[in-house]
Amino acid sequence: MDETDNEKYRVPAWCPVCDEVMKGSISTQTYFKWGCCMHCHIEFVEDREERWKNGWRPSPDEVAKKRGRRIWGPDESTKS
């Protein structure tokens, strides 16, 4: 595996959509499939999959509104 391959499998520390910390294995999975954290997937991608695939992204104002209402629970990777 060369450096280019490593970059393909690297998860950023911060979500590229909302700039929040990428938390847990679920966020890792949603990043590789959708390019965002689990919370952004729930808030912006679900029920809009086709629009998302075609390039739609929420406006900065939409993201700011959702971020202000988020309640962070425990790291999803620790749930049993």
pLDDT in tens, 12-27: 999 999 999 998 899 9
**Eight-class DSSP state of 9:** T
What would the two tokens of residue 51 be? 């629009």
Per-residue pLDDT for 3 more than 90? no
- Cα-based distances in Å from 58 to 25, 72, 74: 23, 20, 25
Q: What is the pLDDT of residue 45?
A: 96
pLDDT of 24-50, one tens digit each? 899 999 999 999 999 999 999 999 999
Q: Residue 59 and residue 62: Cα distance in Å, rounded?
A: 5
**Eight-class DSSP state of 29:** H
Q: What is the pLDDT of residue 47?
A: 94
Handedness of CA 65, 71, 76, 80 (dihedral sign): negative
Per-residue pLDDT for 5 more than 80? no
Please tell me the pTM assigned to this model: 0.74
